[in-house]
């Protein structure tokens, strides 16, 4: 008898295609009948960060070779759209009246080829009255130079409106023996997916709009596309081919995508659009961008009693999803893994003349972890205590029943001390501390830094369930339909494993269908590490329900009682208990049900709530104190994501998360000059990590199943990023702490590290 497939290292089904013929992305949709004869759309983008539009002259562009049409927002009759997060802020999908960031679309060119469109866009003349740009968050907060006049302020959301008490101020810490303050910058980063945004649109002969999108949530794009085109959502069909990365930035539909149907109707032809990498760096939403004021207080023995965080979130130039990440993700997770009896967290979201911020891998939770972990390090340094011991002393004790923190967030299960101990042991923490002491004693130019982070995060908090459908084909193979959307995570493998576990159908005979809103009309997409615990959970449940349905069919064919029918998963066949020689396969059942509409089952399966993965990371760096150069030489990650479906996929997510976290800690940063001009608008100027800068990651396995869903799984897609970033930042600071350095903002570049050392001399 074979055992369960769950928990085994099953090779990814997706990889042969991606490693040989390659994926089929939006830009590869060359044989699609509806897109034959498609013309190309190019957006003219603002070269000014903040200004009034006097006029837009497209006449020169219209006379250029291959140009079919050129439109402004006024030509298209675009109306003001309010932000869902602050309706006083409104904009048109092509800027009219005012531009608010460099890269904002102001006009559109339609041409026979992409190259002709890029040339013509250069010929469009926009006359601006340039206004002062606001790039600095605190300057924008205080300024009377308003980015949205109707808002009355550049503060577009403050958590005080949620009715929270405001105990900010030193009086809050009156009873503390030790108080430490810090001002930290969780810098703005660009998501940089391998595949930049692309889309195509065509009106069918039935009058419906078909749009192909590189998106994380096809179903979520239907309503905004319908609204932009003035049609009923039933008239919109969204299709998602392979997606080359998203990291949160491809959750929502952008103006460039929403307008394609309008443009296609105007020119009477299907249209294609793809941004360049430079456009992506200013047009695709950015992440993080949070300024943090932190105060932590407690006893001289190391017990933390008070913690205060004021998170000032940069919304960028539009009141988009980034606006609410601080109040709704950073604030609830501000306690982290610690049993701190008094916590205050206030958040303020501010618009600036920069690219709008959106969700980015972890979305508000990495910021919360970075703040509390930096505070713990500062507290330990002030006391002269070991950073690991101060953390251990303040951890929430192990709990296998829900635990509610002082800020009101309820965690499902947690065993934080075990994850810390496992990580410290696997990393040889004591050995590295001894090597560090030796290097300091010798006065060597290259010093060792050791950084620790212990974290908890929230996953699966978006949506309270997911749709799934399993359909048996005539040959006994299965089609699995899911409302989640893969872009590298391994859904085809995972969902096949879950279906195989219930049905006995081999993994290689199970095919995944996603991202087509006609085939899968209900779905909440892939975000917030929700896929396995909601999408996979639904597939697992629906597969089990299908087995029950199949038993009724088998009972009829075998002329037996349904209660006596058993499924032999080794042979994927149904038989009467005790007589396995006479059986019916899935193919037999599917053929028997063909006249009745086939053998399938679909449902929307709910979950009891979010889950709270946790873990500990230990990072080791070498810092050349003469140049400030940092080398990341070792990394240990213990990430507890509950029940593990496939250790290979788990490790892949951790490796990718650590790489992305290390990149933020060490090198990535979107920068603007004082006039709001981006100075990191391509991958030559924006530092991007590669395998050469990363050590091999030691993954330590730990499983604390959650009771929240059927499979006991928690999310893993963002955990590596959340744990790695503060561990790396701490390690760099730790390497030069003996000089008197207490803090270095990310990214900890050679320049910043060198300057920090010099400032202590």
Query: Domain for residue 643, yes or no?
Result: yes
Write the pLDDT tens digit of every residue in 245-302. 999 999 999 999 999 999 999 999 999 999 999 999 999 999 999 999 999 999 999 9
Residues 426 and 407: beta-carbon distance below 8 Å: no
Write the pLDDT tens digit of every residue in 402-440. 999 999 999 999 999 999 999 999 999 999 999 999 999
Write the pLDDT tens digit of every residue in 563-616. 999 999 999 999 999 999 999 999 999 999 999 999 999 999 999 999 999 999
pTM: 0.97
What average pLDDT score do residues 728-750 get? 98
> What is the pLDDT at residue 429?
98
On whether both 593 and 623 belong to a single domain, the answer is: no
> What is the pLDDT at residue 606?
97
CATH code of the domain covering residue 118 = 3.90.1170.50
CA distance 383 to 301: 8
What average pLDDT score do residues 385-392 get? 98
What average pLDDT score do residues 199-227 get? 98
pLDDT above 80 for 166:
no
pLDDT above 90 for 160:
no
pLDDT above 90 for 78:
yes
CA distance 337 to 495: 32
Query: Domain for residue 63, yes or no?
Result: yes
Share of the chain above pLDDT 90, in %: 97
> What is the pLDDT at residue 167?
65
What secondary structure does DSSP assign to 189-239, as a single string?
E----SSPPEEEEEE-TTS-EEEEE--S-HHHHHHHHHHHHTS-GGGEEEE
On whether both 317 and 427 belong to a single domain, the answer is: yes
Query: Domain for residue 302, yes or no?
Result: yes
From 572, 606, 640, the end of a domain falls on 606
On whether both 323 and 257 belong to a single domain, the answer is: no
Q: Which residue has the tokens 């990650």?
A: 637
> What is the pLDDT at residue 754?
98
Confidence of residue 145 (pLDDT cuts 50, 70, 90): very high
- Mutual orientation of helices 647-666 and 719-735 as an angle, nearest 10°? 40
Query: Domain for residue 262, yes or no?
Result: yes
pLDDT above 70 for 1:
no
- Angle 347-656-736 (CA atoms, 0-180°, nearest 5)? 65
On whether both 230 and 117 belong to a single domain, the answer is: yes
> What is the pLDDT at residue 168?
62
What average pLDDT score do residues 353-372 get? 97
- Angle 640-645-647 (CA atoms, 0-180°, nearest 5)? 70
Q: Which residue has the tokens 């105007």?
A: 266
Residues 145 and 134: beta-carbon distance below 8 Å: yes
Q: Which residue has the tokens 């009873």?
A: 175
Residue 455's Cα: distance from chain center in Å? Answer: 17
Long-range contacts of 220-227 (CB under 8 A, 24+ apart): 220/251, 220/252, 220/253, 220/524, 220/525, 221/252, 221/253, 221/257, 222/517, 224/252, 224/253, 224/258, 225/253, 225/257, 225/258, 225/261
Query: Domain for residue 21, yes or no?
Result: no
On whether both 300 and 223 belong to a single domain, the answer is: no
On whether both 355 and 441 belong to a single domain, the answer is: yes
What average pLDDT score do residues 108-137 get? 98
What average pLDDT score do residues 619-623 get? 99
CA distances from 104 to 145, 276, 286, 703 (A): 19, 14, 14, 46
Whole domain around residue 589: which residue ranges?
461-606
Query: Domain for residue 681, yes or no?
Result: yes
Query: How many distinct structural domains can be found in the chain?
Result: 3
CA distance 453 to 615: 8
On whether both 622 and 727 belong to a single domain, the answer is: yes
- Angle 380-738-170 (CA atoms, 0-180°, nearest 5)? 40
Q: CB under 8 Å to 26, separation ≥6 — which residues?
A: 198, 199, 200, 212, 213, 214, 241, 274
Q: Which two tokens stand for residue 163?
A: 């009715």
On whether both 455 and 466 belong to a single domain, the answer is: no
pLDDT above 90 for 170:
no
On whether both 696 and 670 belong to a single domain, the answer is: yes
Query: Domain for residue 526, yes or no?
Result: yes
Nearest to 274 by CA among 388, 118, 143: 118
CA distance 332 to 364: 10
Residues 208 and 37: beta-carbon distance below 8 Å: no
- Angle 596-467-707 (CA atoms, 0-180°, nearest 5)? 120
Q: Which two tokens stand for residue 710?
A: 């059927």
> What is the pLDDT at residue 165?
66
On whether both 670 and 755 belong to a single domain, the answer is: yes
CA distance 77 to 29: 30
Q: At 367, is the secondary structure helix, strand, or coil?
A: helix
Residue 605's Cα: distance from chain center in Å? Answer: 23
Other C-beta atoms lying within 10 Å of the C-beta of residue 183? 11
Query: Domain for residue 528, yes or no?
Result: yes
From 264, 283, 302, the end of a domain falls on 283
List 237's β-bridge partners, or say none.
210
> What is the pLDDT at residue 688?
87
Other C-beta atoms lying within 10 Å of the C-beta of residue 230? 11
Looking at residue 532, what DSSP letter applies?
A: I
Residues 757 and 739: beta-carbon distance below 8 Å: yes
Other C-beta atoms lying within 10 Å of the C-beta of residue 343? 21
> What is the pLDDT at residue 761?
84
On whether both 596 and 641 belong to a single domain, the answer is: no
From 569, 588, 606, the end of a domain falls on 606
Q: At 414, is the secondary structure helix, strand, or coil?
A: strand
On whether both 644 and 746 belong to a single domain, the answer is: yes
Q: Please provide residue 12's backbone torsions phi and psi, each rounded to the nearest 5 degrees.
A: -65, 125
Q: At 246, is the secondary structure helix, strand, or coil?
A: coil
What average pLDDT score do residues 642-654 get? 98
Q: How many contiguous H segments (helices) and E segments (strands) does the chain have?
A: 19, 30
Nearest to 369 by CA among 659, 723, 716: 723
Q: Which two tokens stand for residue 304?
A: 């933390």
Asked if the bond preceding 132 is cis, omega within 30° of 0, the reply is: no
Q: CB under 8 Å to 158, separation ≥6 — which residues?
A: 346, 347, 348, 349
Half-sphere exposure of 654 (CA within 13 A, CB side): 27
What average pLDDT score do residues 48-70 get? 98
CATH code of the domain covering residue 514 = 3.30.365.10
């Amino acid at each position: 008898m074979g055992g369960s497939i769950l928990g085994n290292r099953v090779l990814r089904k997706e990889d042969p295609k991606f490693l040989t013929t390659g994926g089929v992305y939006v830009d590869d949709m060359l044989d699609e009948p509806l897109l034959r004869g498609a013309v190309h759309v190019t957006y003219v983008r603002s070269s000014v960060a903040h200004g009034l539009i006097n006029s837009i002259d497209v006449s020169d562009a219209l006379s250029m070779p291959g140009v079919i049409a050129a439109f402004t927002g006024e030509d298209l009759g675009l109306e003001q759209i309010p932000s869902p997060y602050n309706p006083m802020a409104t904009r048109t999908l092509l800027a009219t009246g005012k531009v608010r960031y460099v890269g904002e679309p102001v006009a559109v060119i339609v041409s026979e080829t992409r190259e002709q469109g890029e040339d013509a866009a250069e010929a469009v003349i926009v006359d601006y009255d340039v206004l002062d740009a606001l790039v600095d968050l605190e300057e924008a907060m205080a300024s009377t130079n308003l980015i949205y006049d109707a808002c009355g302020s550049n503060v577009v959301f403050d958590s005080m409106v949620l009715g929270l008490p405001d105990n900010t101020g030193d009086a809050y810490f009156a009873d503390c023996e030790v108080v430490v303050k810090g001002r930290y910058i969780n810098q703005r980063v660009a998501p940089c997916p391998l595949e930049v945004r692309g889309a195509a649109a065509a009106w069918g002969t039935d009058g419906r709009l078909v749009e192909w999108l590189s998106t994380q949530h096809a179903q979520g794009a239907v309503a905004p596309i319908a609204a932009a085109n003035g049609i009923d959502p039933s008239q919109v069909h969204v299709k998602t081919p392979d997606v080359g990365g998203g990291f949160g930035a491809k959750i929502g539909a952008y103006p460039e995508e929403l307008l394609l149907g309008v443009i296609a109707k105007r020119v009477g032809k299907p249209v294609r659009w793809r941004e360049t990498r430079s456009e992506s760096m200013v047009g695709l939403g950015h992440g993080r961008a949070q300024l943090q004021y932190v105060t932590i207080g407690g006893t001289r023995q190391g017990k933390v009693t008070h913690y205060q965080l004021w998170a000032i979130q940069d919304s960028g130039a539009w009141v988009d999803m980034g606006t609410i990440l601080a109040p709704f993700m950073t604030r609830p997770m501000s306690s982290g893994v610690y049993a701190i009896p008094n916590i205050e967290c206030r958040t303020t979201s501010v618009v600036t003349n920069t690219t709008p911020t959106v969700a980015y891998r972890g979305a508000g939770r990495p910021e919360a972890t970075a703040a509390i972990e930096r505070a713990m390090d500062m507290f330990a340094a002030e006391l002269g205590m070991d950073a690991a011991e101060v953390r251990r002393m303040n951890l929430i004790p192990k709990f296998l029943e829900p635990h509610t923190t002082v800020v009101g967030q309820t965690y499902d299960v947690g065993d934080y001390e075990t994850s810390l101990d496992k990580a410290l042991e696997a990393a040889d923490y004591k050995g590295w501390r001894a090597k560090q002491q030796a290097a300091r004693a010798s006065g060597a130019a290259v010093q060792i830094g050791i950084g620790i982070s212990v974290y908890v995060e929230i996953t699966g908090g978006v949506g309270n369930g997911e749709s799934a459908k399993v359909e048996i084909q005539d040959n006994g193979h299965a089609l699995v339909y899911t409302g989640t959307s893969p872009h590298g995570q391994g859904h085809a493998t995972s969902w096949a494993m879950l279906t195989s576990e219930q049905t006995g159908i081999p993994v290689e005979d199970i095919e995944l269908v996603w991202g087509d809103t006609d085939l899968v009309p209900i779905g909440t997409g892939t975000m917030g590490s929700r896929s396995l615990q909601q999408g996979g959970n639904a597939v697992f449940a629906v597969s089990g329900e299908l087995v029950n349905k199949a038993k009724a069919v088998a009972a009829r064919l075998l002329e037996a009682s349904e209660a006596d029918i058993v499924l032999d998963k080794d042979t994927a066949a149904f038989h009467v208990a005790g007589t396995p020689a006479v059986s019916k396969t899935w193919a037999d059942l599917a053929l028997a049900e063909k006249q009745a509409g086939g053998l399938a089952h679909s449902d929307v399966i709910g979950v009891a709530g979010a889950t709270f993965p946790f873990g500990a990371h230990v990072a080791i760096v070498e810092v050349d104190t003469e140049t400030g150069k940092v080398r990341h030489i070792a990394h240990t990650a213990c990430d507890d994501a509950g029940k593990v479906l496939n250790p290979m996929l788990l490790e892949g997510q951790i490796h990718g998360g650590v790489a992305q976290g290390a990149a933020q800690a060490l090198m990535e940063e979107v920068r603007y000059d004082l006039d709001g001009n981006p100075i990191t608008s391509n991958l030559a100027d924006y530092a991007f990590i590669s395998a050469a800068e990363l050590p091999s990651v030691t993954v330590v396995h730990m499983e604390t199943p959650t009771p929240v869903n059927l499979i006991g799984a928690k999310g893993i897609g963002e955990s590596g990023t959340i744990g790695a970033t503060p561990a790396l930042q701490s390690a760099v600071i730790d390497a030069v702490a003996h000089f008197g350095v207490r803090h270095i903002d990310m990214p900890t570049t050679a320049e910043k590290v060198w300057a920090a050392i010099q400032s202590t001399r």
